[in-house]
Amino acid sequence: MQFKLDRRVHYSKAMLIATPIMAVGLSMLVCTLLLLVLNKPVLLTFHSFFIAPFENFYSITEIFLKFGPLLLIAQALAVGFRAKVWNIGAEGQMIIGAIAASSVPVYFVDSTSAWLLPAMIVLGALGGMAWAAIAAFLKTQFNANEILVTLMLSSIALQILYYLLLGPWKDPMGFNFPQTVMFQDEALFPYLFDGARINTSIAIPIIFTIGIWLFMEKHFGGFRLIVGGLAPSAATYAGFSSKKAVWSSLLLAGFAAGIAGMSEIAGPIGQLQRSVTSGYGYSAIIVAYLGALNPIGIIFAAFFLAVLQIGGDVALVSADLPISAVHVFQGLLLIFYLATYTFVNYRLRVVRPITQATPKLTS
């Protein structure tokens, strides 16, 4: 018996919806096997991952706290991915956004101006865009591969962050911890509820999502990017600039990641410190693909990954899992998603070997 992949005439819409579900199912299956090998409680682990996060109000707000930046960055990355601009450096753009925004409370420690927060938003966005612009410039000018450039720029951004935290921006009263001063309340987003960390910054990803949906589905600009991704020669033929596509994709991602970074330091963290990104820049890549690069799909994918992260935190304690378990699960998700996505465009056919025709005489 042989298996063959036949290209479908039309891509399968049913499979498009089924692939994320299959990816989740397969990931859970492999995780179960891993847990059995590690001799960890399987049911308790899955309970920690998927049920526990919803068991009290606080952890539900924590889900949304993680949901925000994941959604914001993934929406922007998906636009680029559809235009075949492979920006995998949202992490670095997020760091630079956070640094740029932090400069305001760091240098105006005593200010109580109402303009603090707006200034930080603008600087966060500009910081992220500037970092992404380096990759866009190198890509359009020298055709430097944006995958490598954005990835390496993330490492550079991290070193800049470390330098600032260990040097000029270190809190003088911070017992030598690598972090800045705690920011004043005027530099932070107001909380939504008492006793929960979730704050008003959640509005930004939601508004951004609506904007992206309109842009990609209803606007000519989105159409141009999609054409550039699907059929580059058709885009050239129509006269759509591929350089413009690179610039706009990267700047949009820089904008979103920069604001996401800013929302972290002006939200749950409240200062600039080493773990400012929580890995959102990388997780957002998974979110974008798990959501089939579709603005609506990404909402569900971001929520799912947020649950997974909170659940992972719970599982660390309750099921005594190592921290890398969450990363393994995320990685499995992406691999299985990409593997099952094949079936959107191909169908599997089982070929039974035909018995060899024996030569026979004919008249």
What is the binding site for other proteins (CB under 8 A)?
6, 8-11, 214, 218-221, 223, 227, 230-231, 233-234, 236-241, 354, 356-363
Whose Cβ is closer to other proteins: residue 235's or residue 321's?
235
Whose Cβ is closer to other proteins: residue 114's or residue 351's?
351
Which pair of structure tokens corresponds to residue 169?
């921006």
Residues 350 and 5: their CA atoms lie apart, in Å, by 9
Alpha-carbon dihedral angle through residues 186, 189, 193, 198, given to the nearest 10 degrees: -140
Q: Tokens 């966005």 appear where?
A: 125
Q: Which helix (H) or strand (E) holds 352?
A: none
User: Residue 335 CB, nearest distance to other proteins (Å)?
Assistant: 25
- 189: which DSSP letter? P
Residues 188 and 59: their CA atoms lie apart, in Å, by 21
Contacts for 152 with CB less than 8 Å, ≥ 6 apart = 89
User: Residue 58 CB, nearest distance to other proteins (Å)?
Assistant: 42
Residues 161 and 307: their CA atoms lie apart, in Å, by 28
Please give the single-letter amino acid code of residue 62. E
Which pair of structure tokens corresponds to residue 38?
């590690």
Whose Cβ is closer to other proteins: residue 262's or residue 344's?
344
User: Residue 10 CB, nearest distance to other proteins (Å)?
Assistant: 7
Whose Cβ is closer to other proteins: residue 241's or residue 294's?
241
User: Residue 222 CB, nearest distance to other proteins (Å)?
Assistant: 9
Distance of CA 202 to the CA centre of its chain: 16
Whose Cβ is closer to other proteins: residue 39's or residue 363's?
363
User: Residue 262 CB, nearest distance to other proteins (Å)?
Assistant: 28
- 41 burial class (0-12, 13-18, 19+ CB within 10 angstroms)? middle
User: Residue 79 CB, nearest distance to other proteins (Å)?
Assistant: 15
Whose Cβ is closer to other proteins: residue 7's or residue 275's?
7
- 359 burial class (0-12, 13-18, 19+ CB within 10 angstroms)? exposed
Distance of CA 295 to the CA centre of its chain: 13
Whose Cβ is closer to other proteins: residue 53's or residue 228's?
228
Whose Cβ is closer to other proteins: residue 200's or residue 241's?
241
Q: Tokens 């465009």 appear where?
A: 345
User: Residue 140 CB, nearest distance to other proteins (Å)?
Assistant: 15
User: Residue 342 CB, nearest distance to other proteins (Å)?
Assistant: 16
